[in-house]
Chain A
């Protein structure tokens, strides 16, 4: 059973470009979470999605960031017009449906560097 897959593992963008980060959850998992880790800090929640629905986006910056989890295909975290402060490790996690308490299983992360 393959784990959570993220690609690319490393992404370099210049200021003003767009970054697209992809996440394929574990088989059988229908809940996807995105977290961001800045240097020397813990992970910070960004958004929680189920298939075709955004459940909680309370951690997403109001501008330039968006996320989707379509019926088919991976979840996408999109950052438009990137700035240097967006440089971080972005982790995706997934969990199975219909449980009160869910362990979340993390992917290897995408390390975004904005030049």
Chain B
């Protein structure tokens, strides 16, 4: 049972434009959501997070939106840069269960210059 889904395996965007990566979840107990970026042969790098009491969190070029009623979150990257090309993982956790992360399968983002 896949509790966190990233339905787009890949996304291609022109440099300077907006990248929007989507994530859906099924477990309403999740109360914290994170986005990680991963380059080949490296570990995931934490990007941005949001708790379930908020609907938006912004950090520089990165903004995460949470729609609890739809069980959906998205990551916006504006403007996209070639160095953003990587695999992006959405992850969710619920604090009652010790913060273990449940990951989606990832979306490959390619930013073309």
Interface on A for B, CB 8 Å cutoff? 4, 6, 31, 33, 35, 40-45, 48, 55-56, 58-59, 91, 93, 95, 100-109, 111
Interface on B for A, CB 8 Å cutoff? 4, 6, 31-32, 34, 36, 41-46, 49, 51, 89, 91, 93, 95, 97-106
Residues on A with beta carbons closer than 8 Å to the beta carbon of B100: 33, 45, 48, 56, 58-59
**Contacting residue for B43 out of A4, A44, A103, CB 8 A:** A4
How many contacts A-B (CB < 8 Å)? 69
Closest Cβ neighbor of B42 among chain A residues: A108
Cα separation A35 to B62 with both chains bound (whole Å): 25
A42–B106 touching, CB < 8 Å: yes
Closest Cβ neighbor of A31 among chain B residues: B99
Q: 10 shortest A-B CB distances, which residue pairs?
A: A106-B43, A42-B103, A42-B105, A45-B100, A43-B103, A101-B32, A106-B44, A108-B43, A103-B46, A102-B99
A33–B101 touching, CB < 8 Å: yes
A55–B95 touching, CB < 8 Å: no
Pick the most buried of B6, B34, B103, B105: most chain A CB atoms within 10 A of its CB: B103
A106 to chain B, nearest CB (A): 4
Cα separation A110 to B98 with both chains bound (whole Å): 24
